């Protein structure tokens, strides 16, 4: 009887201790919800087990609080990091714009000086050429072609100077901004190069789906498009197909825009050409001055637009050749952000 009583007394001691030990082992293994639970003992061991459970509850609460603080801190750090990244991006854009403005100012001063120095002798040359033509009268007939070539080259020099001034001093050459129908402008631009298309035996295909207008000076947009059309025609000296496309799209900022594309079936663009295409004075033509695309970039940027150049196969098209894209914001978007 004494032995049985001793055994029962020992079990009453070791059972709570074992349960507390198992609970701590489970917590150590990752089971944070493990608890000793209710014991039948009402002695010190039962009180100790209850205190252990209370301690584990406190640890859980503290852990949850620390986790919440950690998440809040992570969120604040992420927000501040985003703000810092945005501020850095804005700073970089401002610095780039400042550098560009300073370059334009320097180019403007240099160009104005050069234009003045060049325009004066050009005017003298043109005046003397007209005088020679008037003085010789009928005797000028044998050199009519030579005189015409001189007229042509003088006009070319004048055009180059004007183009340089147009890029360097855009505000002096800015025209009236109106709502422009891009499809109609593409068609009208096409009419102006119809003689070149016929001479080169180039077929024209249209896929004009844009429905919105853009806010821009009509003559300046037409200048850009005609330049792209002439480039496309010259890329297909043996004939081919000219494809004109327009569509309503969203730009990289999610703003509603119109994309106009001029596609040819020529040899396409080499990597070297793509890298330098929009640089001033870069040209692949024997008679080109390398200013057309450069000036087009400046014209479009003035209205928040852009120009791009790709090989058609780079865009997933089953056709050789290049595609030049002109992107401008919808008229409503331009007015709202003005």
pLDDT tens string 42-72? 667 777 877 888 888 888 889 889 989 999 9
Same structural domain, 213 and 197:
yes
Structural domain includes residue 222 = yes
Same structural domain, 153 and 204:
no
Around Cβ 135, how many Cβ atoms within 10 Å? 9
| Higher per-residue confidence, 43 vs 26 | 26
Work out the angle between the directed axes of helices 182-192 and 218-234 (0-180°, nearest 10): 50
CATH at 295: 3.30.565.10
Decide if 82 contacts 50 (C-beta within 8 A).
Answer: no
CA-to-CA dists, residue 170 to 96, 132, 164, 220, 331, angstroms = 18, 37, 10, 11, 21
In sequence order, the 6+-apart residues with CB closer than 8 A to the CB of 15 are: none
Structural domain includes residue 207 = yes
Query: For the chain, what is the domain count?
Result: 2
170: helix, strand or coil: helix
Same structural domain, 322 and 183:
yes
Same structural domain, 230 and 259:
yes
pLDDT at 279 over 80: yes
Q: Write down the pTM of the prediction.
A: 0.55
Domain extent for 116:
107-173
Structural domain includes residue 169 = yes
Same structural domain, 194 and 333:
yes
Q: What is the pLDDT of residue 311?
A: 96
Q: Distance (Å, rounded) from C-alpha 307 to C-alpha 53?
A: 70
Structural domain includes residue 276 = yes
CA-to-CA dists, residue 336 to 107, 129, 221, angstroms = 32, 52, 21
Q: Which of 92-106, 172-186, 213-227 has the lowest mean pLDDT?
A: 92-106
Structural domain includes residue 201 = yes
Same structural domain, 273 and 227:
yes
In sequence order, the 6+-apart residues with CB closer than 8 A to the CB of 95 are: none
Same structural domain, 168 and 182:
no
Mean pLDDT score across all residues of the chain = 84
Same structural domain, 200 and 291:
yes
Structural domain includes residue 86 = no
Q: Distance (Å, rounded) from C-alpha 228 to C-alpha 266?
A: 13
Percent of the chain with pLDDT over 90: 33
Decide if 306 contacts 300 (C-beta within 8 A).
Answer: yes
Same structural domain, 185 and 270:
yes
């Amino acid at each position: 009887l004494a032995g049985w009583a001793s055994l029962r007394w020992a079990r009453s001691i070791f059972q709570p201790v074992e349960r507390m030990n198992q609970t701590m082992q489970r917590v150590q293994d990752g089971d944070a919800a493990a608890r000793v639970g209710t014991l039948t003992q009402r002695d010190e061991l039962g009180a100790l087990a209850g205190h252990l459970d209370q301690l584990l509850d406190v640890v859980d609460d503290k852990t949850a609080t620390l986790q919440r603080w950690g998440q809040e801190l992570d969120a604040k750090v992420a927000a501040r990091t985003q703000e810092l990244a945005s501020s850095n991006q804005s700073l970089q854009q401002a610095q780039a714009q400042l550098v560009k403005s300073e370059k334009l100012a320097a180019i403007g001063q240099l160009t104005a000086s050069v234009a003045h120095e060049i325009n004066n002798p050009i005017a003298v040359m043109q005046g003397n050429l007209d005088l020679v033509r008037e003085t010789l009268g009928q005797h000028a007939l044998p050199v009519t072609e030579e005189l015409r070539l001189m007229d042509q080259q003088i006009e070319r020099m004048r055009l180059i100077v004007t183009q340089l001034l147009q890029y360097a001093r855009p505000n002096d050459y800015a025209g009236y901004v109106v709502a422009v129908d891009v499809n109609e402008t593409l068609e009208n631009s096409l009419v102006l190069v119809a003689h070149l298309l016929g001479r080169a035996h180039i077929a024209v295909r249209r896929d004009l789906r844009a429905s919105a207008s853009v806010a821009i000076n009509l003559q300046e947009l037409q200048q850009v498009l005609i330049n792209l059309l002439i480039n496309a025609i010259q890329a297909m000296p043996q004939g081919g197909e000219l494809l004109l496309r327009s569509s309503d799209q969203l730009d990289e900022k999610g703003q509603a825009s119109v994309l106009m594309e001029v596609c040819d079936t020529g040899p396409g663009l080499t990597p070297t050409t793509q890298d330098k295409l929009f640089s001033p004075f870069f040209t692949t033509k024997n008679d080109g001055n390398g200013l057309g695309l450069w000036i087009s970039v400046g014209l479009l940027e003035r209205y928040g637009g852009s120009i791009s150049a790709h090989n058609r196969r780079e865009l997933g098209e089953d056709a050789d050749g290049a595609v030049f894209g002109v992107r401008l914001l919808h008229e409503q978007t331009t007015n709202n952000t003005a």
